[in-house]
Amino acid sequence: MKEENQIPRRDFMKTAAILATATVVPAYMASCQQRKEFPAGKLNIALIGMSMGYNNLRKGVEAGENCVALCDVDERPIANRMKEFKEKFPNAVEPYVYQDYRKMFKEVGDQIDAVIIATPDHAHCKITLEAMKLGKHVYTQKPLTHSVYESRILTRAAEKYNVATQMGNQGASNEATALVCESIWNDDIGEVREVHAWTNRPIWPQCQNRPIEDPENPVEKPDKLDWDLWIGPAQMRPYNPVYHPWNWRGWWDFGTGALGDMACHILDVGMRSLRLGYPEGIEASTSKWTSESPSEAEKISYYFPARKKYKKVNMPEVKVTWYDGGLMPDRPDELPDGERMGDGDGGIMFVGTKGKIICGCYARNPVFLPKEKFENYDPVVNERIVEGGIDGHERDWVRASKEPAKSRVKCKSHFGYAGPFNEVVVMGTVATRLTGLKRVLKWDGENMKFTNIGPDDTIGLPTEVRTIIKNGQPRFKKEFEEINALEYAERLIKREPREGWELDV
């Protein structure tokens, strides 16, 4: 790769030495791997997190780039993916394999240009930040981070380290997203004051109680899983299969529930077309939830202030409402009976003064209402579209990673956009846990705080939710802990990481 994309060797070795003191690696992984030679003139990509991230990596390799390293705290998916990689790319150089990303950076970091991060949500920020500090271009899966503060950290880091960045909400590169944006900016459906977005998630368990731990009979951990590394910045707890490999999305310490999983996909076209910044207020209502796990269904309303007119359309105040767990907005009268709203993953509906637009996830298949008005509708699309649409999202990042920093065209979901957007998404996960305050929470986005929670306000934290059978009759049991609401909100906005996982830009 070009010399300007590499950090000085002395700086790399200094950083590597610091990283080396941060972890004790298993003996079977202690020795350096034999040096490999990858084809020159291509982007050297490493992947951290094998499950979701492998598809992102595959698209980059299919575009002609090198896969330098595969890394996962669980060695089982590495073995499966390595077999698949060899079968699909028989002529490629076999990548290095690691369990600890810090050891990977230490040993072969000077051969890595760019990193894909696709770990559970709670580990995104630390790993992404460390890669950026080493001068690596980063593609981080959605949601960008687990908390509001972490999003702000990565936004600032992107400015400081000037690497190519992309959040993995591939709908941002969809031609349909550009079409909806241009339609709204052309004033074709009028001023939009109301938006509704929804998803079929969660499709994993939520509203869970922490498993009862028996110190004398602990649950046996898989041999090939480094549990300490998997826990990462979260507070330590014993291994249990209810957390890994998939159901971590339904636990507050590791995931962000249905909202965090899907809003970055579905709300992107709304944030982008309406040019939304920080909301001024937010309110939520939910089904039952616990201090450990999100609710099974929720409705969250964001209140955004008016923005400056853009192109031909005014941008008045707008209310954006999110639904999940099977909840849906009311069907518009203009939609024919029997016709689906959105698609199987969810959708978004814009309510304008002249018409409506309903899209599926990623803004797929937009429907303009009333249909008779838009029968021959064919707007001009001027927004830059990534070649290949959704499938070009990774290629957009590869392209930006190869361009000189001074002339680089930023990716469709670069952190300067994705960071503030993700703040909006994950502040919703905070609001759902503050519903007991019974008010619209006023939000100061610049300072990342709620302004109408008093120092003496308290809230009941549901520590346990269970249904028990007594004398053949079901009884609902819910236990609460009374806590200070302001302190609780601050802890959720800025999570305190476990020792050794602090964030230092």
For every one of its 505 residues, what pLDDT tens digit does the chain have, with 9 covering 90 and above? 443 344 343 343 334 333 343 444 433 343 457 899 999 999 999 999 998 899 999 999 999 999 999 999 999 999 988 999 999 999 999 999 999 999 999 999 999 999 999 999 999 999 999 999 999 999 999 999 999 999 999 999 999 999 999 999 999 999 999 999 999 999 999 999 999 999 999 999 999 999 998 888 889 999 999 999 999 999 999 999 999 988 999 999 999 999 999 999 999 999 999 999 999 999 999 999 999 999 999 999 999 999 999 999 999 999 999 999 999 999 999 999 999 999 999 999 999 999 999 999 999 999 999 999 999 998 889 888 898 899 999 999 999 999 999 999 999 999 999 999 999 999 999 999 999 999 999 999 999 999 999 999 999 999 998 888 877 887 778 899 999 999 999 999 999 999 999 998 8
pTM, rounded to two decimals: 0.92
d(CA 111, CA 122): 27
What local confidence, expressed as pLDDT, does residue 198 receive? 98
pLDDT, residue 476, reads 77
Alpha-carbon distance of 470 to 488, in angstroms, equals 34
Structure tokens at 6: 């590499």
3-state secondary structure of 351: strand
At 44, is the secondary structure helix, strand, or coil? strand
The pLDDT, as a whole number, for residue 32 is 57
- What is the dihedral sign for C-alpha 397, 399, 402, 405? negative
What is the separation of C-alpha 230 from the centre of its chain, rounded to a whole number of angstroms?
A: 17
Reported as half-sphere exposure (CB side, CA atoms, 13 A), residue 19 has a value of 22
CA distance 117 to 168: 9
Specify the pLDDT at position 416. 98
Return the bridge partners of 319, or none. 194, 303
List the structure tokens of 493: 């906005």
> For residue 202, is the peptide bond before it cis, meaning its omega torsion is within 30 degrees of 0?
yes
What six digits make up the tokens of 83? 């077999």
d(CA 221, CA 319): 46
Q: Look at the block and give the residue holding tokens 């400081």.
A: 160
Residues of the chain with CATH 3.40.50.720: 3-172+391-416
Q: Read off the tokens for 105.
A: 């950076």
For the chain, give the mean pLDDT. 92
Q: How far apart are the first and last CA of the chain?
A: 25
Q: What are phi and psi of 185, to 5 degrees?
A: -65, -25
In this predicted structure, what is the pLDDT of residue 17?
A: 39
User: Using alpha carbons only, what angle is made at residue 168 by residues 164 and 172, rounded to the nearest 5 degrees?
Assistant: 90
Instruction: Give the sheet arrangement for strand 137-140, strand by strand.
Output: 96-98, 66-71, 44-48, 114-117, 137-140, 165-167
For position 16, what pLDDT does the model report? 39
Cα R_g (the chain), whole angstroms: 23
Rounded to an integer, what distance in angstroms lies between the CA atom of residue 61 and that of residue 114?
Answer: 12
d(CA 435, CA 420): 23
- The CATH 3.30.360.10 domain(s) of the chain lie at 174-384+417-505
The β-bridge relationship of strands 458-470 and 473-484 is antiparallel
What residue has token string 């002339």? 407
Distance separating alpha carbons of residues 243 and 502, to the nearest angstrom: 23
Which residue carries 């609710």 as its tokens? Answer: 295
3-state secondary structure of 32: coil
pLDDT value of residue 471: 78
Token pair of 31 as six digits: 């020795």
Q: Are strands 114-117 and 318-324 parallel, antiparallel or unpaired?
A: unpaired
Q: What is the pLDDT of residue 24?
A: 40
- In 3D space, the residue among 3, 48, 380, 344 whose CA is nearest the CA of residue 200 turns out to be 344
Would you call 308 exposed, middle or buried from its count of C-beta atoms within 10 A (0-12, 13-18, 19+)? exposed
DSSP per-residue string spanning 432-480: GGGGGG-SPEEEETTTTEESS--TT-EEEEEEEEEEEEETTEEEEEEEE
Question: Whats the size of the chain, residue-wise?
Answer: 505
Nearest 5°: phi and psi at 429? Answer: -70, -25
Residue 31: the pLDDT is 45
pLDDT confidence of residue 21: 37
Name the CATH architecture for the domain at 174-384+417-505: 2-Layer Sandwich (3.30)
Q: Residues near 181 by Cβ (< 8 Å), separated by ≥ 6?
A: 269, 272, 273, 383
3-172+391-416 fold: Rossmann fold (3.40.50)
The torsion angle over the Cα atoms of residues 155, 146, 285 and 265, rounded to 10 degrees, is 70
Burial of 220 (0-12, 13-18, 19+ CB in 10 A): exposed
Q: Which two tokens stand for residue 389?
A: 């649409």
Residue showing tokens 């518009």: 332
Q: Output the DSSP codes for 135-160.
A: T-EEEEPSSS-SSHHHHHHHHHHHHH
Alpha carbons 297 and 286: distance in angstroms, whole number: 6
Answer for the pair 145, 121: CB distance below 8 angstroms, yes or no: yes
What φ, ψ does residue 367 adopt, rounded to 5°? -115, 125
Q: Which of 280, 288, 301, 369 is nearest to 333 (CA)?
A: 369
Main-chain phi, psi angles of 177, to 5 degrees: -60, -45
